């Protein structure tokens, strides 16, 4: 209990530190303790929506990864590796080509089409990646790779056909928060907390599912209902993240793995901690993206990949027999 308390305290400290760095760091140096009118405008209209976007997108991606890993009972399950993010990016790209570009349309159009794309990708991964209800790492990764490449090829076709929307489409491939504004941030700020609450509400049932479907049924858990709720929820979180920030990989792989190492596998603790750490992690990655090549800016997806690929290779190597390779 004492260990968990100190872990939470350290986590909140790093969250506060990451938020401070995000708000004070950029092309224009700002002292948060002595704000001029110009600094206030930069802070309120540029850096604060960007920091909030990165927090809720990072938390949403991390939470979706934890949910997918619980559903598939597989530590390598992640919306990016499973191709769900690619499906969401195709839906968002299609919405942009169809003309959903106003702030209201970004919410009603891009987010909706992104959600449809993520659901389609999820269905294909379920269909091609399972055998008798079991998902091995080999089949899961191959099906996710195939689905991701399939949808990415369609995005490439859209980029060739729609020259006027080329800049926006490239944004969905690279991923980042350079164009974050209050009009796009409020989508994540309002919807992601609802998803966090739903995920936490069914956390006990997800714990029981990890023991096997027969055990869950004997415990009175409606397994099909819980699986459907979590699958749609994870796809929805992915679609929100993609519609706000584009394609950002490996957050849902790195963060849940780190949380399990400290807090264990109880989803009643794992899910909220994963959300908070995921948001903190992406704020720090976005801050790095701003300062590493200043005054130029790296896509935040590049930074997360630099952290995520070694973790992915480590997990792939670890206990290969257990993971079905």
Q: Express each pLDDT in 272-318 by its tens digit.
A: 999 999 999 999 999 999 988 877 888 898 899 998 888 888 877 77
Let me know if residue 12 belongs to a domain: no
Let me know if residue 53 belongs to a domain: yes
- Residue with the bigger pLDDT between 2 and 153: it is 153
- What mean pLDDT comes out for the span 177-197? 89
Let me know if residue 99 belongs to a domain: yes
The pLDDT of residue 105 is above 70? no
Let me know if residue 38 belongs to a domain: no
Let me know if residue 110 belongs to a domain: yes
Instruction: Indicate the pLDDT class of residue 137, thresholds 50, 70 and 90.
Output: low
- Residue with the bigger pLDDT between 187 and 13: it is 13
Q: Which residues contact 83 (CB under 8 A, 6 or more apart)?
A: 121, 124, 125, 143, 144, 145, 146, 147, 148, 149, 150, 151
Q: Which two tokens stand for residue 256?
A: 């849940």
Question: Are 231 and 72 within 8 A, CB to CB?
Answer: no
The pLDDT of residue 267 is above 60? yes
Instruction: Indicate the pLDDT class of residue 237, thresholds 50, 70 and 90.
Output: very high
pLDDT score recorded for residue 165: 67
The pLDDT of residue 224 is above 90? no
- What mean pLDDT comes out for the span 64-68? 95
The pLDDT of residue 184 is above 90? no
Let me know if residue 262 belongs to a domain: yes
Backbone angles phi, psi at 87, to 5 degrees: -65, -40
pLDDT score recorded for residue 323: 45
- What mean pLDDT comes out for the span 125-146? 78
What CATH number is attached to the domain comprising 99? 1.10.3470.10
Supply the range of the domain harboring residue 137: 49-323
Let me know if residue 34 belongs to a domain: no
Let me know if residue 3 belongs to a domain: no
pLDDT score recorded for residue 276: 96
Q: How many domains does the structure of the chain reveal? A: 1
């Amino acid at each position: 209990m004492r260990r968990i308390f100190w872990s939470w305290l350290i986590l909140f400290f790093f969250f506060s530190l990451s938020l401070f760095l995000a708000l004070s760091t950029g092309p224009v140096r700002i002292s948060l303790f002595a704000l001029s009118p110009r600094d206030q405008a930069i802070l309120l209209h540029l850096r604060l929506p960007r920091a909030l976007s990165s927090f809720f997108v990072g938390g949403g991606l991390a939470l979706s990864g934890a949910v997918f890993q619980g559903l598939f009972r597989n530590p390598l399950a992640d919306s990016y590796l499973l191709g769900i993010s690619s499906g969401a990016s195709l839906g968002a790209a299609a919405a942009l080509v169809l003309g959903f570009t106003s702030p209201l349309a970004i919410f009603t159009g891009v987010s909706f089409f992104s959600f449809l794309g993520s659901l389609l990708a999820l269905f294909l991964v379920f269909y091609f990646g399972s055998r008798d209800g079991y998902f091995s790492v080999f089949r899961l990764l191959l099906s996710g790779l195939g689905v991701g490449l399939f949808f990415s090829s369609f995005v490439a076709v859209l980029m060739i056909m729609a020259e006027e929307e080329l800049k926006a489409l490239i944004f969905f491939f690279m991923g980042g928060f350079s164009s974050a504004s209050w009009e796009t941030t409020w989508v994540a700020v309002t919807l992601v907390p609802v998803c966090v609450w739903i995920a936490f509400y069914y956390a006990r049932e997800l714990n029981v599912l990890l023991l096997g479907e027969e055990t869950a049924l004997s415990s009175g858990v409606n397994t099909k209902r819980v699986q459907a709720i979590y699958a749609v929820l994870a796809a929805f979180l992915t679609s929100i993240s993609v519609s706000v920030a584009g394609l950002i990989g490996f957050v849902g792989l790195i963060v849940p793995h780190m949380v399990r190492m400290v807090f264990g596998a109880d989803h009643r603790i794992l899910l909220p901690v994963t959300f908070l750490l995921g948001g903190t992690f992406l704020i720090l990655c976005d801050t790095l993206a701003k300062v590493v090549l200043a005054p130029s800016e790296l896509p935040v997806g590049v930074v997360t990949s630099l952290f995520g690929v070694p973790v992915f290779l480590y997990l792939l190597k670890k206990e290969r027999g257990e993971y079905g390779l």
